[in-house]
């Protein structure tokens, strides 16, 4: 393989990696947000942002 | 509001990273054909170095988060730990990937097991992989968090070690071209501009990812609490 082929392989891997990682994170955020909204709406509850494990430790 | 700023940073950083990739490919000057075995592959440098820089930021966040959780039991500390490990893994893999491709083109081998810089950075990436996979496979609890935070704290020793490795033992990995402390830097003006754009873009990009990841951890905790309430807990 010559240098240009190596460069192409590196670029394709990098672009695919960055795009996949960003898409996964944004998608995960939207999916959890939707699930949380559905749970809170259907049960009529509002969960707080508190970290229960940290709270238990503080108590 | 926090979610919007995280998404904005992520978007700006993403555009910056893509611009860096373009500039490195199209605009940055070519290097001398005598100085490199593979002058074309040298263009990987413009985002290999910023990716490594972003990985060091992520490992710094991992260390700070681990310390905050371990010593202060801070919920923010745990979120920083999770975000730092995920971002460290992603940037570590980008750095290792680009380094391996460049090594294959320039040295004829993607990895050199005798090179200290390569191996300590590889270990850092493996540590991040262990923390990310470990958190997903273990139930969340104080013992789990304490164990992973300890790894985050002790693992950070590899960061300064990796940084100084090529200054002490320059085996295969090239020495520093910026901030070397002497006049041995070999970058032209245009090369430095592309490298700085890359460093800035990757910094914004990684900060966006860290904020997004912290937000996701917060949402996961909120979802868990809502499910706990449904199950009849307090």
pLDDT score of A2: 79
Instruction: Print the domain residue range for B43.
Output: 39-222
Of B25, B43, B212, the CB nearest to A25: B212
Cβ within 8 Å of residue A46, ≥6 positions away:
A40
CB A14 within 8 A of CB B98: yes
Of A17, A32, A39, the CB nearest to B227: A39
Residue B168 lies in a domain: yes
Dist CA B90 CA B187 (whole Å): 27
Residue B32 lies in a domain: no
Residue B101 lies in a domain: yes
Angstrom distances, CA of residue B41 to CA of A31, A59, B5, B95, B124? 39, 57, 36, 14, 25
Residue B28 lies in a domain: no
Provide, as residue numbers in chain B, all residues whose Cβ is less than 8 Å from the Cβ of A4: 40
Q: Any chain B CB within 8 A of the CB of A31? A: no
> Cβ separation of B219 and A32 shorter than 8 Å?
yes
CB B216 within 8 A of CB A29: yes
Number of domains in chain B: 1
Angstrom distances, CA of residue B194 to CA of A34, B58, B97, B179, B190? 40, 22, 20, 16, 6
The token pair that represents B185 in the structure block: 């830097």
Q: Of the candidates B25, B23, B82, which has an alpha carbon nearest to the alpha carbon of residue B200?
A: B23
Testing the interface with B: which of A18, A34, A48 to mutate, by most B Cβ within 10 A? Answer: A18
Residue B24 lies in a domain: no
> Cβ separation of B225 and A9 shorter than 8 Å?
no
Tell me the average pLDDT across B159-183.
Answer: 72
Residue B13 lies in a domain: no
- pLDDT tens-digit map of B100-110: 988 888 888 88
Q: Is the dihedral of CA B77, B78, B79, B84 positive or negative?
A: positive
CB B219 within 8 A of CB A36: yes
Residue B8 lies in a domain: no
CB A11 within 8 A of CB B22: no
Q: Above pLDDT 70, what percent of chain B?
A: 91
pLDDT score of B182: 58
- Confidence (pTM): 0.87
CB B110 within 8 A of CB B100: yes
Residue B22 lies in a domain: no
CB B73 within 8 A of CB A54: yes
Checking A11-16 for CB contacts under 8 A at 24+ apart, the result is: A11/B21, A11/B25, A13/B97, A13/B98, A13/B101, A14/B21, A14/B47, A14/B94, A14/B97, A14/B98, A15/B18, A15/B21
- pLDDT tens-digit map of B58-85: 999 999 999 999 999 999 999 999 999 9
Provide, as residue numbers in chain A, all residues whose Cβ is less than 8 Å from the Cβ of B40: 2-4, 6-7
- For chain B, give the mean pLDDT: 86
Kindly tell me the number of DSSP H helices and DSSP E strands found in chain B.
7, 0
> Cβ separation of A32 and B221 shorter than 8 Å?
no
CB atoms within 10 A of CB A44: 6
> Cβ separation of A22 and B44 shorter than 8 Å?
no
More confident site: B80 or B177 = B80
ipTM comes to 0.81
For the cut 60, the answer to whether the pLDDT of residue B181 exceeds it is no
């Amino acid at each position: 393989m010559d240098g240009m082929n190596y460069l192409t392989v590196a670029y394709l891997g990098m672009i695919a990696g960055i795009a996949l990682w960003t898409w996964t994170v944004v998608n995960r955020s939207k999916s959890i947000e939707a699930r949380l909204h559905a749970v809170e709406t259907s049960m009529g509850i509002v969960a707080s942002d508190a970290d229960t494990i940290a709270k238990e430790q503080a108590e | 509001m926090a979610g919007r700023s995280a998404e904005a940073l992520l978007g700006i950083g993403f555009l910056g990273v893509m611009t860096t990739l373009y500039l490195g490919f199209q605009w940055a000057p070519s290097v001398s054909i005598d100085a490199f075995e593979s002058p074309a592959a040298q263009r990987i440098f413009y985002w290999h170095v910023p990716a490594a820089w972003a990985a060091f930021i992520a490992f710094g966040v991992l260390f700070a988060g681990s310390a905050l959780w371990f010593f202060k039991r801070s919920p923010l500390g745990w979120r920083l730990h999770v975000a730092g490990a995920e971002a460290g893994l992603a940037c570590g893999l980008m750095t290792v990937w680009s380094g391996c491709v460049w090594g294959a083109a320039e040295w004829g081998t993607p990895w050199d097991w005798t090179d200290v810089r390569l191996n300590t950075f590889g270990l850092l990436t493996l540590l991040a992989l262990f923390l990310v996979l470990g958190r997903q496979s273990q139930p969340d609890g104080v013992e789990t968090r304490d164990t992973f935070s300890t790894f985050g704290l002790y693992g950070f020793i590899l960061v300064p070690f990796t940084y100084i490795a090529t200054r002490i033992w320059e085996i295969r990995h090239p020495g520093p071209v910026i901030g070397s402390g002497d006049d041995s830097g070999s970058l032209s003006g245009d090369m430095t501009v592309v490298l700085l754009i890359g460093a800035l873009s990757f910094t914004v990009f990684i900060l966006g990812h860290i904020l997004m990841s912290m937000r996701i951890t917060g949402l996961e905790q909120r979802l868990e609490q809502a499910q706990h309430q449904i199950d009849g807990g307090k």
